[in-house]
Structure 1
Amino acid sequence: MCGLPTDRLAVVPNAQQPSGATARSRIRSTSRVVVNHIVKHTGVGIVCAVAYFDPGNWGVDLQAGSQFGYKLLFIVLLAGLFAAFLQVLASRLGCVTGLARSDLASHCRLLLYNRPKRPRLYRWLLLYPLYALSEIAIISTDLAELLGSAIALCLLFPRLPLWAGVLLTASDVLLLLALGNPLGGRPVRLFELLIAALVLTVLVCMAIIISKVGVHWGQAFYGFVPSNSIFKSGALYTSIGIIGATVMPHSLFLGSALATQDRITSSTELTKPVFSVSSATSSQSGFTSASLATFRRSRLQSGFQHFKVAFLTAFRIVPVEEFANNPTTHAEHENRPLAIVRAHIYHGMVDIVVSLLGFAVAINAMILILASAVFFYGSGKGSGGPASLFDAYDLLRDIVGKPAATLFALALLASGQSSSIIATMAGQIVSEGFLRWRISPILRRLITRCLGLIPSMIVAVSVGRSGVDTLLVASQVALSIVLPFIVFPLIWLTSSSSIMIAKSSPIQLSEHPQNTQEQLQDHSDESRGVDVEDASGETVNFANNRFVAAVGYAIFVLVAAANVYAIVSLAMGQEL
């Protein structure tokens, strides 16, 4: 017993000290990464997640829950995983290649516009039809968002006609116009905070409603387990509708564009007023009232002049010659420096996955659970036919009470408004990327909104509420048909080693703040699996490996097969 040497006892705590210090250092390093991500890199994921619980999703989820109970929750989860996978690919494409208009639409143009052999054939048979399909998807999406928001307004204000709700809901584009250009090189935090507030509104409202209805949580969680229930009568068709309504083409364009933004470099340019009344009066104590009045008049005239210039600039069509140096092929395009890619790419992937699974999948699951608890297992059982948005509101009002029904309408309104703003921005990306149609963002958003407003107003005035469901179904079918044509080039581009290459630059570290080096050190472990051409790390290939590419093409085949099934079923007279 006493043979234990005292020096060995003293060595034990000394040996533990370095490990404890290392643990604390790792905790601090991890905390810095988490805080840095929350402060600087959140935003893109929440903005993209909005597209995955738009009013079209509400209609399909209500139908699935009212007809099949909790059994199709697995399809909601599977569709969310598909969406997260494809959205991560879009984010990687924009992040790696993100120097001036490197979104998915722009890369489709670089790929197809100036081919070495028969360029006109590629343009008219591939590029322009792909642009037309993308525009159809944007218009169909915006149409569904307008109708969903109009329905929410009619639920909140029963005396409001449906056409008036459509007209009021279309005015949200004015709010987007006031926010400037969220698609610029720097993120607009006010815009991202607005979208985040709308998303949280939807989430909180749905959580409160779920807490007030009788949910069989054991059966609900069992619904996330795959089963053969989806192959029963009607369930497979509804499952296809869930996938088609969840994976949205316009969100892929938007995510790739927002991933090109630099979220690290702090602006060194300070905006200071050239002249102010306070500085004039402090420097010149003899400033008379007459000279002050003259100064105010000159300031007023200058303000009007600045307003006139800003107004004309906002609606200015940029001449083509100002963009003559834009690349026309991928060989002429230069990707981002390696350090900037590493500082953004992993944060972007985490942001996308957490936002889509934490918000989009959760909200879609809540809608389906609500429909199951009320229409399949609850008092609304046997009401006949799939539940609509109006049915859900009426039944919630009768069973749970007016407050819960009002929360349902508010959640639908927040979902429709946020999704509508996102669809309008996606329209700007598509036109500028495919055609280099360089009109002002304000004019482009107004055009996009009018294209979705016209059919919505026609349906609202001519057929009213009875035609809303038909138009919503038609918009979701259009989105399902377009989706494979967008997914294939996305997978092909992100699997190309010549496109997804990032090279280091000797001056890149001096152009960015100190935390760039810290982020590179934080991400050094994460980038070990990337193909590095030489030991110095000068060239890194961020293209998809074979497994990721195989998963992407498998999703493409599955979505394409689902669309073929849906089209054939519609041709045979089946209903959604």
Structure 2
Amino acid sequence: MIAVMCGCFGVEVLMASPDVGQIAKGLFIPRIPPNATVQAVGIVGAVIMPHNLFLHSALVGTRRIKRAADIRLASIREANFYTTLESAVALLFSFAINATILIVFADIYSHNSADHSPLAAAVEQHLPGLVEAASLLGRAFGRAGPLLWAIGLLASGQSSTATGTMAGQYLMEGMMRLHVNPWLRVFISRSISLIPTMLVGVLATSYLDRFDEWLNVLQSLALPFALIPTLKLAQSHAVMSSDFATTRKWRIFGWITAAAIIALNVYLLFPIILQLALRGAAAACVAFLFLGIYLIFIGVLARYEVLSAIT
């Protein structure tokens, strides 16, 4: 599915023929306009999905480990190495896919704005979203544009659904000790994911872009709740043994990354909370209470001892 997405969106980038120099400059010296903070934080949640942190860790257990005493540790290290490599490649492609989508639409928008074409006039009145994307690509690239977009989105949905179901399976069986028949798990998970999605797609088409944007933001807000326990488990000698617990330099790197993500989320939340606070005392109390609970919960997670949770 990742290969299909890369193929579809990669072809659209080639059709758009953007300025490669400007893309490289933006990658190494990024600039985020003040009014694009929500979208920037949303991209973090879209690329590093919280449930996939658990899924990528669980996939180590699916590799064939040699149990003989003299080669067991080397076999586990080999499994860890290839799972890490696989996860890094998947995240790199995820980043590339999100980048290609941004590049294609930014290129279409900038070129048509510069040419003062009828397409530009339509776009300037309302920035394109999921609903308008197909017609915009059709006018820019012909019939191939919407077709590639549709195939890429279908592959994206299938990939996301599969990883979400697999992550839920590992969490249920590994952490909650719940073993459910495969057919029942598929039925429940598909019903929970598909029915609300279909209702939104049919009854709330004008809100699709806002839902999609805030869904990614919520994933970014939820990242600390997956990242912090993963870091705690990885550095615990009681869980990982001294052979596989993370070293000091990786612990420092992991916690700095977690702190950066938390700071980014607070930076996003604070303007929203201030806007709510302007609506009255009750709204201000609820908004600051939510921020306080969020930060307290993160603090509790960071201080909680993993061994006591297991025992």
User: TM over 0.5, yes or no?
Assistant: yes
Q: Deviations over 1:253-278 (max 9, x none)?
A: 2112211013366xxxxxxxxxxxxx
The answer on 1:449 being equivalent to 2:183 is no
Partner of 2:50: 249
The answer on 1:481 being equivalent to 2:221 is yes
Could you tell me how far apart the structure 1 residues matched to 2:202 and 2:95 are? 34
More helix by share: 2
Q: Contact 2:234–2:246 (CA<8 Å) still a contact in 1?
A: yes
Q: Which secondary structure does the structure 1 equivalent of 2:175 belong to?
A: helix
Could you tell me how far apart the structure 2 residues matched to 1:480 and 1:207 are? 26
Alignment of 1:166-177 (within 5 A): none
Q: Which secondary structure does the structure 2 equivalent of 1:348 belong to?
A: helix
Q: Which of the two has higher C-alpha Rg? A: 1
Alignment of 1:156-235 (within 5 A): 198-227=1-30, 229-230=31-32, 232-235=33-36
The answer on 1:364 being equivalent to 2:165 is no
What is the CA-CA distance between 1:461 and the residue it aligns to? 4.0
Partner of 2:280: none
Could you tell me how far apart the structure 1 residues matched to 2:182 and 2:54 are? 16
Could you tell me how far apart the structure 2 residues matched to 1:428 and 1:485 are? 18
Equivalent residue letter for 1:251: N
Q: Contact 2:56–2:83 (CA<8 Å) still a contact in 1?
A: no
Structure 1's unaligned 5+ residue stretches are 1-197, 266-335, 502-539
Q: Contact 1:244–1:559 (CA<8 Å) still a contact in 2?
A: no
Change (3 A) 1:390 1:459: closer
Name the stretch that deviates more: 344-353 or 411-420.
344-353
Could you tell me how far apart the structure 1 residues matched to 2:78 and 2:200 are? 48
Equivalent residue letter for 2:7: V
What is the CA-CA distance between 1:398 and the residue it aligns to? 0.6
Partner of 1:32: none
Change (3 A) 1:237 1:466: closer
Q: Contact 1:428–1:445 (CA<8 Å) still a contact in 2?
A: no
Return the match for 1:420 from 161, 168, 172: 161
Q: Contact 1:250–1:423 (CA<8 Å) still a contact in 2?
A: yes
What is the CA-CA distance between 1:381 and the residue it aligns to? 5.0
What is the CA-CA distance between 1:402 and the residue it aligns to? 0.9
Change (3 A) 1:498 1:482: same
Equivalent residue letter for 1:201: V
Q: TM-score, normalised by structure 1?
A: 0.43
Change (3 A) 1:355 1:233: closer
Alignment of 1:3-402 (within 5 A): 198-227=1-30, 229-230=31-32, 232-263=33-64, 337-357=72-92, 359-378=93-112, 381=120, 383-384=123-124, 385-402=126-143
Could you tell me how far apart the structure 2 residues matched to 1:470 and 1:542 are? 43
Equivalent residue letter for 1:564: V
Relative contact order (C-alpha < 8 Å, sep 6+): which is higher?
Answer: 1
Partner of 1:545: 247
Could you tell me how far apart the structure 2 residues matched to 1:375 and 1:476 are? 23
Q: Contact 1:425–1:445 (CA<8 Å) still a contact in 2?
A: no
Q: Deviations over 1:385-417 (max 9, x none)?
A: 543123222111012111122111111111111
* Seq. identity, %: 34
Q: Which secondary structure does the structure 1 equivalent of 2:62 belong to?
A: coil
* Number of equivalent positions: 264
Could you tell me how far apart the structure 2 residues matched to 1:474 and 1:207 are? 26
Equivalent residue letter for 1:567: L
Change (3 A) 1:542 1:434: closer
Could you tell me how far apart the structure 1 residues matched to 2:202 and 2:4 are? 30
Structure 2's unaligned 5+ residue stretches are 114-118, 277-311
Runs of 4+ in 1 over 4 A off after TM superposition: 379-382
Q: Contact 1:428–1:441 (CA<8 Å) still a contact in 2?
A: no
Q: Which secondary structure does the structure 2 equivalent of 1:435 belong to?
A: coil
Return the match for 1:563 from 265, 274, 283: 265
Equivalent residue letter for 1:246: V
Q: Contact 2:41–2:220 (CA<8 Å) still a contact in 1?
A: no
Change (3 A) 1:391 1:457: closer
Partner of 2:297: none
Alignment of 1:520-539 (within 5 A): none
Could you tell me how far apart the structure 2 residues matched to 1:389 and 1:457 are? 15
Q: Contact 2:42–2:213 (CA<8 Å) still a contact in 1?
A: no
Q: Deviations over 1:408-456 (max 9, x none)?
A: 1111111111211221222222222332112213212221221122322
Could you tell me how far apart the structure 2 residues matched to 1:403 and 1:250 are? 34
Q: TM-score, normalised by structure 2?
A: 0.77
Q: Contact 1:202–1:414 (CA<8 Å) still a contact in 2?
A: yes
Could you tell me how far apart the structure 2 residues matched to 1:435 and 1:395 are? 46
